[in-house]
């Protein structure tokens, strides 16, 4: 069970998805997804590799278009939005990529400065310095500011990736496999950071993962993606109390393998 859940406002829906469908040729990946994410909530989308978790969050971020269904993000309908509105909406959505997507040729400071300068006009040098200081402090890595990504550990790079996403103060955070490739202790540090971000930056988040410890630690609610739809939704305990064999085998496999 998640240790502490900050205030979740069930009167405010930040993501509303109804009967979302997406195929690539004959590959029917999403076959009718329904999902609501409330303000301040962490929703974990749990599913095996290739089930369409990344496709789902790419649609939410406006990087892929749905074939059918309704997707509303921060009260804007993705399927009817203009390119200009989409660009403005994307500034409110932080996409934390699996590989952290940092520029190796830049220092950590420059990596963090990049999205600020590109997306926000008229910032003074001291505004930029303060924004970078604040996010580095939030992820506990002030000391790395003059280093390059290649000099950092995998866990530190993930933290900087999250800091780079946070610097634009998004309302929604989308985490794509935040613990992939990390050892259990570093994974737990990232899970704790995701919860700190939720609490301190008041973000609503979707965390996609197949790591059950990550799901259990960060998720206020879990949605299990199986065969293109959400087979189960609820707290971690509610979801895994279900008799569905496919959900049980997911659980058994993860825990037998020490995750």
Ligand X SMILES: Nc1ncnc2c1ncn2[C@@H]1O[C@H](COP(=O)(O)OP(=O)(O)OP(=O)(O)O)[C@@H](O)[C@H]1O
Considering only the stretches 23-31, 76-84, 183-191, 251-259, report the one whose residues sit in contact with ligand X under the rule CB under 6 A.
23-31
Lookup: tokens for 249: 């085998």
Considering only the stretches 22-30, 112-120, 146-154, 186-194, report the one whose residues sit in contact with ligand X under the rule CB under 6 A.
22-30
Produce one character per residue of 227-259: b if its CB has 16 or more CB atoms within 10 Å, e if not: ebbbbbbebbeebbeeeeeebeebeeebeeeee
At 65, give phi and psi (nearest 5°).
-100, 140
- 179 binds ligand X per the rule CB under 6 A: no
- 54 binds ligand X per the rule CB under 6 A: yes
How many of the other CB atoms lie within 10 Å of CB of 214? Answer: 26
Question: Residue 251: which H helix or E strand, with range?
Answer: helix 245-256
Question: Residue 72: which H helix or E strand, with range?
Answer: strand 68-73
End-to-end CA distance of the chain: 15
**Residues binding ligand X: number (CB under 6 A):** 11
Lookup: tokens for 192: 């704790």
Interface pick for ligand X out of 14, 20, 44, 53 (rule CB under 6 A): 53
Nearer to ligand X, 93 or 224 (CB): 224
Nearer to ligand X, 54 or 100 (CB): 54
Query: What is the rounded distance in angstroms from the CA atom of residue 108 to the CA atom of residue 225?
Result: 35
- The C-alpha angle 179, 87, 223, rounded to 5 degrees, equals 35
Nearer to ligand X, 60 or 138 (CB): 60
Interface pick for ligand X out of 11, 26, 49, 143 (rule CB under 6 A): 49
Interface pick for ligand X out of 6, 9, 12, 50 (rule CB under 6 A): 50
- 52 binds ligand X per the rule CB under 6 A: yes
Nearer to ligand X, 42 or 51 (CB): 51
Interface pick for ligand X out of 12, 24, 88, 130 (rule CB under 6 A): 24
Interface pick for ligand X out of 29, 89, 132, 247 (rule CB under 6 A): 29
Lookup: tokens for 193: 């950071």
Nearer to ligand X, 132 or 224 (CB): 224
Residue written as tokens 């059918």?
A: 68
Phi-psi region of 25 (alpha: psi -120 to 50; beta: other; left: phi over 0): left
Binding mask 67-106 for ligand X (x = CB under 6 A): ----------------------------------------
Considering only the stretches 4-12, 24-32, 114-122, 136-144, report the one whose residues sit in contact with ligand X under the rule CB under 6 A.
24-32
Q: Interface with ligand X by CB under 6 A: which residues?
A: 24, 27, 29, 47, 49-55
């Amino acid at each position: 069970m998640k240790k502490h859940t900050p205030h979740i406002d069930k009167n405010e829906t930040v993501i509303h998805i109804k009967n979302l469908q997406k195929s690539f040729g004959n590959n029917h990946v999403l076959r009718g997804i329904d999902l609501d994410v409330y303000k301040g909530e962490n929703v974990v989308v749990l599913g095996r590799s290739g089930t369409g978790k990344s496709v789902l969050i790419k649609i939410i971020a406006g990087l892929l278009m749905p074939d059918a269904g309704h997707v509303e993000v921060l009260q804007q309908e993705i399927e009817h939005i203009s390119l200009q509105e989409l660009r403005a909406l994307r500034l409110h959505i932080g996409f934390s990529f699996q590989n952290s997507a940092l520029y190796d040729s830049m220092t950590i400071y420059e990596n963090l400065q990049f999205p600020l300068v590109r997306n926000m006009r008229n910032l003074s040098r001291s505004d930029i310095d303060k924004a970078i200081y604040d996010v580095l402090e939030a992820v506990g890595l002030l000391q790395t500011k003059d280093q390059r990504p290649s000099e950092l550990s995998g866990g530190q790079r993930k933290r900087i990736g999250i800091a780079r996403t946070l610097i634009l103060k998004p309302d929604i955070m989308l985490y794509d496999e935040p613990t992939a490739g990390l050892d259990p202790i570093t994974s737990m540090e990232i899970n704790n950071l995701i919860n700190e971000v939720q609490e301190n930056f008041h973000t609503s988040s979707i965390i996609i993962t197949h790591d059950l410890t990550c799901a259990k630690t960060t998720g206020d609610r879990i949605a299990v993606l199986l065969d293109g739809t959400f087979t189960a939704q609820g707290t971690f305990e509610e979801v895994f109390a279900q008799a569905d064999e496919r959900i049980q085998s997911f659980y058994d496999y993860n825990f037998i393998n020490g995750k």
